Amino acid sequence: MTQAIDKDRVLIFDTTLRDGEQSPGATMTHEEKLEIAELLDDMGVDIIEAGFPIASEGDFRAVREIAERSKNSVICGLARAQLPDIDRCWEAVKHAGKPRIHTFIGTSPLHRAIPNLTMDEMAERIHETVTHARNLCDNVQWSPMDATRTEWDYLCRVIGIAIRAGATTINIPDTVGYTAPVESADLIRRLIETVPGADEVVFATHCHNDLGMATANALAAVAGGARQIECTVNGLGERAGNTALEEVVMALKVRHDIMPWHTGVDSSKIMNISRRVSTASGFAVQFNKAIVGKNAFAHESGIHQDGMLKNAETFEIMRPADVGLAASSLPLGKHSGRAALRAKLRDLGIDLADNQLKDVFVRFKDLADRKKEVYDEDILALVHAGEDAA
Ligand code: KIV
Ligand code: ZN
């Protein structure tokens, strides 16, 4: 099938409910999964990998119900390179308006040793399973797991087989987060140049974060020609996680000047889904996490607060509203200056003369040296302590 590929558009494939949930301890309830899938669909995620239908009865039910309720997104299920897996996956996703089967097999030497298949036997298995999937569904994604540690010639050979058997998307997983940005871009570029038929399918990138490079590797892969990024909300996923959805979406939006591709995601819905995934998975978001961390739009030091009060662009490259946050915050602490204290007092409806502000500031600094964060109640108490003393 020849498909129209929009070279300016990057498809967002969210796997929070599959790879994200595989994170130890991140199991979500059926209702939570349905709710998260609805939020993903609503915010413009192109493809939702809803689960691994053969893995359990619960996963099958979740994928099936997400498929039934889907509105705009393609609903995808994962299947190993085995016919019963693929049949089970199809049974679950076929209820979607736009179903997809995603089948995979580990192609690197380490992964080939597990099913104990020779290279030829594995090639034959890929042909058989992708053909089978394509006979069921006209949207088939195939992944050579551990692609970034697979021999170049063999990788080209098996991708060619999958394309000839009817795969419409070829995903290149960096399963153990081993690649680096230059290599990631180069790998996709060379595959597209080398494998016959590669220009007729969408190439996808699926990066893990073991070396903290998942987002950089995914964006580099797009520069190399990939047009689908696989990611999860909050970067949830096995070990150090996957590429974070919020990071790639915002990076493409903020640095469109040097990365001229767009997504269909409404970024103002990011904060809401981040919080929902955090509560459902039980995984707190680290304070300094890019885009969605508690401190991502917070400024404590005097110089930064003063700059922010004059012009937010001094220390922010995104507007809070772009990610669905009402406003930045200027928490008061020992690094804060007089300008932020004055602004806080005004917010609290208190307008002090300069000499009064000076007194309160001295008492504030003394308190801030003893306390991590100074709250509104502390400020009010400091002001009243001054009044009592007068
Ligand atoms: O990391 C990986 O290789 C995967 C595959 C199943 C795509 O998650
Ligand atoms: Zn993965």
Structure confidence by residue, pLDDT tens digits, 45-56: 999 999 999 999
User: With bands split at pLDDT 50, 70 and 90, how would you rate the model's confidence at 2?
Assistant: low
Closest residue by CA, ligand 1 atom 8: 19
Contact 47, 59 (CB under 8 A): no
Q: What is the ipTM of this complex?
A: 0.99
Atom of ligand 1 nearest to the CA of 173: 3
Of 254, 252, 234, residue with least CA distance to 244: 234
Q: How many CA atoms lie within 13 A of 61 on its CB side?
A: 7
For the chain, percent of residues with pLDDT exceeding 90:
96
pLDDT over threshold 90, residue 216: yes
Contact 185, 223 (CB under 8 A): yes
Going from the Cα of 387 to the center of ligand 1, the distance in angstroms, rounded, reads 64
Residue 387 has a pLDDT of 74
pLDDT over threshold 90, residue 278: yes
As to burial, measured by CB atoms within 10 angstroms (0-12 exposed, 13-18 middle, 19+ buried), residue 369 is exposed
Averaged pLDDT of the chain: 97
Residue 390 has a pLDDT of 62
With a 6 Å cutoff on the Cβ, whether 19 touches ligand 1 is: yes
Residue 1 has a pLDDT of 52
Mutation choice for ligand 1 from 206, 242, 243, CB with most ligand atoms inside 8 A: 206
Reading the block at residue 24, the tokens are 């130890």
The mean pLDDT value for 252-278 works out to: 98
Consult the annotation and say whether 359 binds a ligand. no
Looking at the CA of 241, which ligand is closest? 2
Going from the Cα of 247 to the center of ligand 2, the distance in angstroms, rounded, reads 17
**pLDDT tens digits, residue range 113-172?**
999 999 999 999 999 999 999 999 999 999 999 999 999 999 999 999 999 999 999 999
**329: helix, coil or strand?**
strand
**332: helix, coil or strand?**
strand
Atom of ligand 1 nearest to the CA of 208: 1
With a 6 Å cutoff on the Cβ, whether 145 touches ligand 1 is: yes
Going from the Cα of 175 to the center of ligand 2, the distance in angstroms, rounded, reads 5
Looking at the CA of 148, which ligand is closest? 1
- CA–CA distances in Å: residue 277 to residues 32, 147, 222, 282: 9, 29, 26, 8
Going from the Cα of 106 to the center of ligand 2, the distance in angstroms, rounded, reads 12
Residue 323 has a pLDDT of 98
Mutation choice for ligand 1 from 104, 174, 178, CB with most ligand atoms inside 8 A: 104
Atom of ligand 1 nearest to the CA of 22: 8
Mutation choice for ligand 1 from 114, 143, 169, 171, CB with most ligand atoms inside 8 A: 143
With a 6 Å cutoff on the Cβ, whether 142 touches ligand 1 is: no
User: With bands split at pLDDT 50, 70 and 90, how would you rate the model's confidence at 389?
Assistant: low
Contact 218, 194 (CB under 8 A): no
Contact 138, 114 (CB under 8 A): no
CA angle 174, 179, 182 (to 5 degrees): 125
User: With bands split at pLDDT 50, 70 and 90, how would you rate the model's confidence at 228?
Assistant: very high
**pLDDT tens digits, residue range 86-109?**
999 999 999 999 999 999 999 999
Reading the block at residue 32, the tokens are 């939570």
Consult the annotation and say whether 111 binds a ligand. no
The environment of the single-atom ion ligand 2, i.e. residues with CB closer than 5 A, is: 19
**pLDDT tens digits, residue range 232-261?**
999 999 999 999 999 999 999 999 999 999
Contact 66, 91 (CB under 8 A): no
CA angle 31, 272, 72 (to 5 degrees): 65
User: With bands split at pLDDT 50, 70 and 90, how would you rate the model's confidence at 388?
Assistant: confident
Atom of ligand 1 nearest to the CA of 15: 8
Cβ count near 261 (within 10 Å): 17
Atom of ligand 1 nearest to the CA of 78: 6
Contact 315, 295 (CB under 8 A): no
pLDDT over threshold 80, residue 350: yes
CA 41 from chain centre, in angstroms, equals 14
Contacts of 308 (CB under 8 A, 6+ apart): 299, 314, 315, 316, 328, 330
Atom of ligand 1 nearest to the CA of 230: 7
The mean pLDDT value for 301-325 works out to: 97
Residue 307 has a pLDDT of 97
